[in-house]
Amino acid sequence: MSQDTKDTNLNPSVIARETLKQLAILKISPTPDNYHKLYDQIAGNPENQISAITAKLLIELAKEFPRHTPTLLNCANSLEQAVNEKNWLKYKTALVKFATTENITINSTTLAVQAKVQSSQPDSGAIKQDNEISGYTGQLLDLLAQMLENIVAKQVNGETLAEEARSLASQVREIQNKPEMDQFIVHFQQFCVKLELSNQCEASLQQGLLKLLNLLMDSTAELLSEDQWIKKQLAKLKDTVSMPLDVQIIAQAEQYLKEIIQRQEIIKQSLGKARVTMRQMVTSLISNLEELSDATGEYQEKLEYYSEKINQVDEIEEINQLLAEIMQETNKVQKNIVNYRKDLVAARTEADAAQNQISLLETQLQEMGEKVHEDHLTGILNRRGFDNAYQREASCATRNNTPLCFALLDIDNFKLLNDTHGHHVGDNALCHLVEAVKETVRLEDVVSRYGGEEFAILLPNTALKEAIQTISRIRRYMTKKFFLHDNNRLLITFSGGVAQYHPGESQEDLFKRADGALYRAKKNGKNQIIAAD
């Protein structure tokens, strides 16, 4: 059909007559879909039009879309919003974005479908009578097949569900008419029910394992109630498993904890050796004291013997001989006492040294435990360490009625930096920001890596205006001191949101206010600091 048949100024009745006329001229079956398609073409309606059958399928897909991960949840919300607005272009965009995020490459099938659609326009001659699926619908169905085949099939647990997902992908590619579409919808709904049940079983299994782990940790803590360090480590582990788990964070924490455990084993071995040495010295000391006691007891018996002898003799020579023997025994005892005293002094010195070594090793062991609260890349506090610091500073601010501010910083365009220059450059950029923060903030301020490229700063005894000035100084420092990579200067900037703590406010609520300010800073062009409401 030529372009002159299209006129957006025609009224609906004229367009309807023209549509029926063209159906007859082109010898096209007068099905509802063919009628609506030709009607829209004649009326010059926008491309955001699909058949009722396709709309039904897309609505069902949005309802049954998996939601057990943040990425899937975001995509599901976008699809539902597009359905509510009846904006099918937006629906397509959401699916394409999701597929791109999961590294799915749209293959040549999509191009073939598009070419097929273009060749089937009325301008080129005819619309295929038996095909009730439009070109736009074909693209969406192909995206659905890609998602089932390359995402769902790879993420589900169990080969049975994976094989069913691949079978649905093959089925959706072969849809040519309404009965096939209806059959696919039924199979797809059944698959979604199975997928939901599988996710529920997996979640129940995880909860059961966590309960068993908590019981094990509780019983271990009871058995080792005298070991405070072990109890603290178990408490930290319980805090970790109670938080939402992320695979990457778990892997990173596991590697870091392995390094700490290795170092702790070395310290524990040295601590054990020091304690064994001290026990040996105590045993030796007791033995020396027993020998001294035996020697002095024997000396006392000899004195009594010589005393009786002296009373029994009258001759001076015999008395002198007895006195000489007494002096000899006395000198022997004195020498033994001097030797024992030297041994006691040496043992005391060694005991003091051993005790100092034990204290030093226990301090090092405690420091190793505290390393769990540090971020291994930047050396500042991690999320767990920040949570502990927040409880301390919030309590202090409430008790003393002093201001406390919370700043949330996020590096601008960090993903682009990683994609362009590599992750090692991204890591160096994070350290560059930490260096700028340390150069600017006070010793009493708490700095932590909150997650990824996001950093949190607690500023005790600081009002909102002063806190914004502090964070602004960090931003100016970053713009003046360029980040170097391969002798190339890269400008690293960040956006920030700052909120002042309200007495009694939870950490979650304070974070939400600062995060909202950070979002506005990003939306307004980045590289700026905004105060929270």
- Residues with catalytic roles: 453
CA angle, corner 229, sides to 228 and 232, nearest 5? 85
CB atoms within 10 A of CB 272: 11
Per-residue exposure over 212-223, b if at least 16 CB sit within 10 Å of its own CB, e if not? eeeeebeeebee
Q: How far apart are CA 455 and CA 433, in angstroms?
A: 9
Phi, psi of 93, rounded to the nearest 5 degrees: -60, -40
Residue for token pair 């100024």: 9
Q: What share of the chain is helix, strand, coil (3-state, %, to 5)?
A: 75, 5, 20
Q: Which amino acid, one-letter code, is at 116?
A: K
Q: How far apart are CA 70 and CA 78, in angstroms?
A: 12
8 A C-beta contact, residue 352 and residue 278: no
- Partnered with residue 457 across adjacent β-strands are 407, 447
Q: Which DSSP state fits 272? A: H
Per-residue exposure over 72-99, b if at least 16 CB sit within 10 Å of its own CB, e if not? beebbebbbebbeeeebebbbebbeebb
Q: How far apart are CA 396 and CA 466, in angstroms?
A: 19
